[in-house]
Chain A
Amino acid sequence: MPATSPSPTPDASFIQVEKFNYAYGDHQVIFDVDLDLHRQDITALIGPSGCGKSTLLRAINRINDLVDIARVVSGHIRIDGVDIYSPEVDVISLRRNIGMVFQKYNPFPRSIFENAVYGLRVAGVKDKQELEEAAERSLKLSALWDEVKDRLHEPATGLSGGQQQRLCIARAVALQPRILLMDEPCAALDPIATARIEDLIAQLRGQFTFVIVTHNMEQAKRIADKTAFFYKGKLVEYDDTMEIFGNPKLKLTEQYVTGRLV
């Protein structure tokens, strides 16, 4: 789907990043980032390695809390108006509402079915029928159902790389989150598998609010409504994808998207 198509819902701030500063120990990696992500949009975060885009992504579901020395220096991230770093927030239920897909596809070495329902299992769902329905729904959503419906109880590690990554997407959408975070979801895949993942994201447009980190400019152009360009921990430019790639306001952005920034 071309990036020029209008977003399905009118602009409504959903994820608000405010004056956000983030550090690993004494090493600050995100500086004063202000960013409003819109409901149901697909937003691409681009920028050279080490620019802080992955860290920002991992700060949205607080998975970076696992890194001992990671900390918020100042600022806020609000989702639907709720400051997710405030002490009252339950991190577990926050993460249940935010799906995440990682760069390296990493299904657990269990069956396809068990992978698809992992989130429900840890949420305490025991009802067999409910689990089966959820597995079918999420595998259909991730366009994997037809390929695996006859071998749900075979090991997930027997699938191809692209199938494994779609299983990871199924696993993430099984909990029916509102947000899907993707950290370079196609970096480990071949072009055909990449195209299938991009098709899938296009199909899911409007059902989730996507935030996708990518190094692939063409991918950002193809799938994203909005693009945010980061450089050395700062947000340089954030606009419609068309504008960022076709008519960047800043020289730095233009240099990067045309591949002239070293």
Chain B
Amino acid sequence: MMSNESANPFAGDQSSAQRRETTVRWLLRLSTFLIVAVTVSIVAHIFIKGAPITFRKEFPFVNVKFLTELPGTLHVIFDKQGNAIETDVNGADGIKKQLGDNFREEKTISYSGGGILGPIVGTALLVVVSVTIALFLGVCSAIYLSEYASKGKRVEMIRLAILNLAGVPSVVFGLFGLGAFVLTAPVLTDTPHERSLLVIPLLFTKLSFQGWDTCVLSGGFTLAFVILPVIITASEQCLQAVPQGFRETSMALGATRWQTIWRAVLPFATPGILTSSILGIARAAGETAPIMFTAALAFKDKLPWQKDMPPLPADAGMFAHWEQSVQRFLGIFTESVQALPYHIYTLAARIPHNEYSERAQYGSVFVFLVLVASLAATSIWMRRRLRGKYKW
């Protein structure tokens, strides 16, 4: 090597600035990877523990019993060789008799037997009711804020209020729902409850402020208020994203403001509004606190539509049958239900922990995750279809 070679002016001199640059880059990179790692491990954990309970190796490949039966108490019977036989309350005595002297011990584990159909149905109903209410109210107020209200202090105050609503802890919504919907909301009835706060006699019946009790409707309304801020904010952004030129053109062609919104704004904002409702759906399905006091039960041995109805007389006409069907349908919304998040909470925290309760718990969590993910996927698919139709 030549000794008189001059130093390369571009050769790296590990200055402190460069070292700092490298450190910062790695710090940022590691933080990001850490988040990914946590997400992957959560999903993998639930998949590894939950999938074997939900799926089966042989036909029909899913655990039909787990998905189609209501939860029940699990009876585990041990014989003297240490074999465990799982059964429900009806099968326990038969097996004990069969084992005879070989019977050693029987364990009962609450809520961990049977399936989780009740919680699945309950969560689905709560999501449908709450998203319907929240989308209607949310889109209406977003339209008002974005299209009708004149920009100014008042609108800013309303926005601030909505943002604050988003920050309210969910258990507060639960208590609000208990007070407002379970105990106070008005019903039409001929025989008001004695704890009714106010009874207003109407012509043929009475309007009684006695609440709706714990039911799908109370829970749905409560959840609707939880997800309302997300839906309003996102809907308003979607409306704002529609070019102002569409509004001006439409009005210049003699459309009223409402016609303009209906024909030249809302159709083009819908894909975005649907996307924003994904967040709402996932949140509504996942919240536990707001439904604890308003809709959910730890255990219920009936589906919401399995309600005892007085048997119809043999000569009952079409109308009576029809009327009873309608009553049965409406009855769904006035029944309390089980819900997946609350069921998971019950299994994890309210009964002694063991391998059997853990199994039911992870099975529920897995099904819950798949359900929310498929809801989200549906919304994304709908959005992509609509987005393709309306592009500007």
Contact = CB atoms under 8 A, between A and B. Distances in A.
A102 B390 CA distance: 21
Interface string B238-272: 00000101111111111110010001100010000
Interface string A166-187: 0010011001000000000000
Contact of A171 (B243, B251, B253, B392): B253
A93 B252 CA distance: 10
Given A68-B150, A68-B151, A109-B268, A119 B245 contact: no
A2 B179 CA distance: 78
Contact of A95 (B251, B268, B390): B251
A119 B250 CA distance: 8
A106 interface: yes
Bin chain A's interface residue count: 20 to 34
Nearest to B260: A122
B391 interface: yes
Nearest to B262: A122
Given A122-B263, A172-B253, A108 B391 contact: no
Contacts of B391: 109, 155, 157
Given A108-B264, A122-B263, A157-B391, A175 B251 contact: no
Contact of A102 (B151, B245, B255, B259): B245
Interface of B is mostly: helix
B305 to A, nearest CB: 42
Interface string B353-392: 0000000000000000000000000000000000001111
Interface in A54-102: 61, 63, 66, 68, 92-93, 95-96, 98-100, 102
Contacts of B392: 106, 108-109, 157
A122 B259 contact: yes
Contacts of B390: 109-110
A6 to B, nearest CB: 31
A140 interface: no
A122 B389 CA distance: 21
A104 B254 CA distance: 19
B245 A106 contact: yes
Contacts of A102: 245, 248-249
A118 B253 contact: yes
Contact of B254 (A92, A108, A168): A92
A249 interface: no
Nearest to B253: A119
A153 interface: no
A123 to B, nearest CB: 6
Interface string B18-62: 000000000000000000000000000000000000000000000
A-B interface, 6 closest residue pairs, ranked by CB to CB distance from nearest:
A96-B254, A119-B253, A106-B245, A100-B252, A122-B255, A68-B150
13 contacts: A66-B248, A68-B151, A92-B256, A95-B251, A96-B253, A98-B252, A99-B253, A106-B245, A108-B246, A109-B389, A109-B392, A122-B263, A157-B391
